[in-house]
């Protein structure tokens, strides 16, 4: 049964949450707002890149927008701009909430946000000018990537401070993932950046360091933040504890053990010592352990409650993301097998897989988290349920279309390229319809991002109604009408969150 | 080359040591005991088990607050 609203214990809980949320307000809004800007820019760069592959003459006269520059510019804006900035926003909010302390170092974190934006802007500009490094996922020039790493060091210090001053002694599973992300990823970032930009690693060693790092951006940075969000928001939105806490802890430790071994599966068939590639393959197969525990756990938490996805945008986006995590991880483990890799490697199949990971899994969870967090920070409702629906369906349909089209096309491409009797131009021509499907899918996703950007813009400008319930799929007025029509009492209008 | 090797081994050992240290700390400080209590630590009196915290109004109006919402209904 619901407790009495005048209950002092309940009132204290409301106050405590409000104080913590307010302490995170400016910082998290800055990181979130910036991330949406980079998402829009990244989508534009992605569309230009995609169109060039089936219509090569498109914007071909300007060297700034040639494929070799727009493509890395897209990758770096979405990874360091969109994904990392939205991730840090969610991470700071979740850590403050779960440690039950006010967010420390607020001015510093605002400065860090501005500094981060400046670094990503300079780095992207340098890539477009032609000063990219051509090392995938680390295309920013060294004098941008190294200063960017400083923020990671700040994040380590902040994490340790929050851990030491926390008021809730028990670490919830999400905190384990967040500490994993903030403490391990900076090591990787600094190590890889130093190795790659110094003369120490050349040739094969450079490629090895490159892919060890690139795979771990997903594995030890975005994945833990995404899973931490899913482990918090799914139970929190449903009001139902996760099915098995025990499994969730096993999942965390097995991820910590196995994920960072997997990177060399990107170099199957390359001139590496065979054992190094085998280690990557074994690491990838071992990932079945954390993936199955997470999949089983989330599914059993949701079981019997899937209909509630209709009522909550947060749940809708996050469950879509959590399901994609299972799919992308199983696909990833299988792709690391040499016999599968033989066909899929160096084709569009890999691109489809990468987007299933960073977009369908990570970004959808980031969207869902932002739908939950932002109304609580700003104390306003989302302005339009229609835009939320457009956002979800455009992105979900776009993403599925993207993945199906390119996976299928990429597989055909791989089979054709492995057949020495097929002339290369035949392969190129055969791919054109699939590449068109990607441009159409990308346009759909961009439409979704634009509706999301409008919502976030209006949220930051406080144009929504005063917060009564944070998330609406219909406006409050419609809700009252619906309630009146069915002769039910209208929802109470008193703001309990104030 | 020697410097590189020292650097790589340094990073590897630091990374590995941090995970081992975290695991030892977790076991000795009782973080890995009382799992079910851990799962319920994100709920409180105002947002108890069994209450959805993100949904649209008509569902709230018609909702029967049910105990099936939470398997282990503590009610705090």
**For the residues of B2-53, what is the DSSP string, one character each?**
HHHHHHHHHHHHHHHHHHHHHHHHHHHTTTTS-HHHHHTTT--SSS-TT--S
Contact assessment for residue A92 and residue A103, using Cβ atoms and an 8 Å cutoff: yes
- Are B4 and A201 within 8 A, CB to CB? yes
Residues from chain A that touch B47, judged by Cβ atoms under 8 A, are: 13, 236, 239
A208 - beta bridge partners?
none
- Are A312 and B70 within 8 A, CB to CB? no
CA A321 to chain centre: 9
Task: Count up the domains in chain B and report the number.
Answer: 1
Rounded Cα gap, residues A368 and A392, in angstroms: 10
SS3 content of chain B, % helix, strand, coil (to 5): 55, 0, 45
Rounded Cα gap, residues A175 and A173, in angstroms: 5
- Are A312 and B44 within 8 A, CB to CB? no
Residues from chain A that touch B72, judged by Cβ atoms under 8 A, are: 241
Would residue B50 count as lying in a domain? yes
- Closest Cβ–Cβ partner in A7, A311, A490 for B45: A7
Contact assessment for residue A246 and residue A309, using Cβ atoms and an 8 Å cutoff: no
pLDDT tens string B33-56: 777 778 888 888 888 888 888 765
Q: In sequence order, which residues have a C-beta less than 8 Å from that of residue A88 and are 6 or more positions away?
A: A31, A113, A155
For residue A492, the model assigns a pLDDT of 42
For residue A438, the model assigns a pLDDT of 97
Contact assessment for residue A360 and residue A319, using Cβ atoms and an 8 Å cutoff: no
Quickly tell me which residue has 């009196």 as its tokens.
B45
Quickly tell me which residue has 């098995």 as its tokens.
A244
For residue A468, the model assigns a pLDDT of 65
What distance in Å separates residue A99's CA from the closest CA in chain B? 10
**CA B32 vs CA A99, A166, A173: distances in Å:** 17, 18, 10
Rounded Cα gap, residues B51 and B53, in angstroms: 6
Rounded Cα gap, residues A319 and A387, in angstroms: 19
Question: What tokens were used for A259?
Answer: 């994920």
For residue A94, the model assigns a pLDDT of 96
Question: What are phi and psi for residue A130, nearest 5 degrees?
Answer: 115, 15
Q: B59 versus A92: which is more confidently predicted? A: A92
A380 - beta bridge partners?
A466
Would residue B74 count as lying in a domain? no
> In this prediction, does ipTM exceed 0.90?
no
Rounded Cα gap, residues A131 and A68, in angstroms: 11
For residue A481, the model assigns a pLDDT of 53
Residue in B with minimal Cα distance to A200: B4
Question: What tokens were used for A469?
Answer: 């319930």
Would residue B62 count as lying in a domain? yes
For residue A6, the model assigns a pLDDT of 59
With the CA atoms of A212, A215, A219 and A225 taken in that order, what torsion angle do they form, in degrees rounded to the nearest 10? 120
Instruction: Identify the CA nearest to A181 among candidates A38, A25, A325, A362.
Output: A362
Would residue B76 count as lying in a domain? no
What burial letters (b/e) apply to B27-58, b meaning 16+ CB within 10 Å? eeeebeeeeeebbbbbbbbbbbbbbbbbbbbb
- Are A13 and B44 within 8 A, CB to CB? yes
In order of start, what are the domains of chain A with their CATH numbers? Answer: 16-464 (1.20.210.10)
Residue A481: count of CB within 10 angstroms of its CB: 14
- Are A13 and B36 within 8 A, CB to CB? no
Residue B55's domain comprises 2-69
Check residue A362 and report its DSSP letter: I
Question: What tokens were used for A120?
Answer: 């990503």
Would residue B13 count as lying in a domain? yes
Which of B4, B43, B46 should be substituted to probe chain A, the one whose Cβ sees the most A Cβ atoms within 10 Å? B46
A466 - beta bridge partners?
A380
Residue in B with minimal Cα distance to A246: B35
What does the pLDDT profile of chain A (498 residues) look like in tens digits?
A: 444 555 777 888 888 888 999 999 999 999 999 999 999 999 999 999 999 999 999 998 999 999 999 999 999 999 999 999 999 999 999 999 999 999 999 999 999 999 999 999 999 999 999 999 989 999 999 999 999 999 999 999 999 999 999 998 888 999 999 998 998 888 889 888 888 888 878 888 888 889 989 999 999 999 999 999 999 999 999 999 999 988 998 999 899 888 888 888 999 988 889 998 999 999 999 999 999 999 999 999 999 888 888 888 899 999 999 999 999 999 999 999 999 999 999 999 999 999 999 999 999 999 999 999 999 899 888 888 889 999 999 999 999 999 999 999 999 999 999 999 999 999 999 999 999 999 999 999 999 999 999 999 999 998 877 766 666 544 444 445 555 554 444 444 433 332
Contact assessment for residue A210 and residue A138, using Cβ atoms and an 8 Å cutoff: yes
Check residue A235 and report its DSSP letter: H
- Are B4 and A195 within 8 A, CB to CB? yes
- Are B54 and A168 within 8 A, CB to CB? no
Residue A409: count of CB within 10 angstroms of its CB: 23
What distance in Å separates residue A329's CA from the closest CA in chain B? 23
Would residue B75 count as lying in a domain? no
Q: Does the pLDDT of residue B67 top 50, yes or no? A: no
- Are A9 and B45 within 8 A, CB to CB? yes
What distance in Å separates residue B3's CA from the closest CA in chain A? 8
Give the pLDDT mean for B14-28: 85
How many residue contacts between A and B have a Cβ separation below 8 Å?
A: 155
- Are B56 and A385 within 8 A, CB to CB? yes
- What's the maximum distance between 2 C-alpha atoms anywhere in chain A? 79
Residues from chain A that touch B42, judged by Cβ atoms under 8 A, are: 98, 172, 232, 235-236, 241
- Are A249 and B35 within 8 A, CB to CB? yes
**CA A67 vs CA A39, A72, A134, A455: distances in Å:** 19, 9, 12, 32
Residues from chain A that touch B75, judged by Cβ atoms under 8 A, are: 1
Residue in B with minimal Cα distance to A308: B55
């Amino acid at each position: 049964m619901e407790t009495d609203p005048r209950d002092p214990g309940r009132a204290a809980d409301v106050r405590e949450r409000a104080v913590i949320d307010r302490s995170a307000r400016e910082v998290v809004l800055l990181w979130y707002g910036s991330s949406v800007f980079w998402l829009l820019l990244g989508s534009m760069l992605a569309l230009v890149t995609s169109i060039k592959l089936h219509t090569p003459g498109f914007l071909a006269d300007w060297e700034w927008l040639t494929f070799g520059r727009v493509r890395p510019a897209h990758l770096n804006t979405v990874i360091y701009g969109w994904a990392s900035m939205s991730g840090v926003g969610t991470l700071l909010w979740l850590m403050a909430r779960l440690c039950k302390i006010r967010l420390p170092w607020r001015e510093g974190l605002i400065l860090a946000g501005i500094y981060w934006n400046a670094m990503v802007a300079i780095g992207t500009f340098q890539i477009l000018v032609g000063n990219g490094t051509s090392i995938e996922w680390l295309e920013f020039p060294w004098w941008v990537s190294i200063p960017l790493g400083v923020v990671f060091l700040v994040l380590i210090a902040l994490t340790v401070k929050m851990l030491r001053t926390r008021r809730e002694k028990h670490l919830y599973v999400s905190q384990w993932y967040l500490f994993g992300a903030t403490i391990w990823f900076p090591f990787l970032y600094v190590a890889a950046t130093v190795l790659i930009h110094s003369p120490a690693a050349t040739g094969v060693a450079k490629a090895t360091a490159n892919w060890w790092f690139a795979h771990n951006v997903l594995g030890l940075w975005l994945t833990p933040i995404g899973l931490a969000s899913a482990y918090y928001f799914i139970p929190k939105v449903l009001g139902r504890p996760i099915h098995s806490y025990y499994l969730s802890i096993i999942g965390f430790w097995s991820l910590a053990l196995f994920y960072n071994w997997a990177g060399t599966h990107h170099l199957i068939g390359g001139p590496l010592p065979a054992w190094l590639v085998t280690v990557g393959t074994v690491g990838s197969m071992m990932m079945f352990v954390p993936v199955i525990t997470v999949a089983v756990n989330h599914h059993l938490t949701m079981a019997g409650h899937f209909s509630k996805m209709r009522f909550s945008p947060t749940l809708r986006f996050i469950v879509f993301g959590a399901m994609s995590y299972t799919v992308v991880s199983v696909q990833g483990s299988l792709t690391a097998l040499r016999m599968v890799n033989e066909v899929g490697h160096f084709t569009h199949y890999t691109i489809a897989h990468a987007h299933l990971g960073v977009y369908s899994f990570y970004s959808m969870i980031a969207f869902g988290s932002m739908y939950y967090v932002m109304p609580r920070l700003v104390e306003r409702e989302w302005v339009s349920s229609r835009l939320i629906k457009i956002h979800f369906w455009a992105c979900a349909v776009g993403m599925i279309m993207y993945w199906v089209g390119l996976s299928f096309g990429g597989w055909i491409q791989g089979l054709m390229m492995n057949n020495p009797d097929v002339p290369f131009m035949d392969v190129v021509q055969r791919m054109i319809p699939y590449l068109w499907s990607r441009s159409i899918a990308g346009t759909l996703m961009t439409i979704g991002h634009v509706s999301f950007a409008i919502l976030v813009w209006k949220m930051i400008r406080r144009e929504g109604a005063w917060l009564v319930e944070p998330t609406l799929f219909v406006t409050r007025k419609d809700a009252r009408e619906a309630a009146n029509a069915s002769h039910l009492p209208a929802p109470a209008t008193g703001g309990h969150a104030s | 080359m020697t410097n590189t090797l020292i650097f790589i081994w340094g990073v590897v050992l630091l990374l590995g040591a941090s995970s081992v240290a975290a695991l030892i700390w977790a076991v000795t400080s009782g973080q890995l005991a009382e799992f079910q209590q851990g799962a319920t630590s994100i709920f409180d009196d105002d947002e108890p088990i069994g209450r959805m915290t993100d949904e649209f109004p008509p569902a709230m109006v018609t909702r029967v607050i049910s105990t099936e919402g939470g398997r282990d209904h503590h009610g705090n």
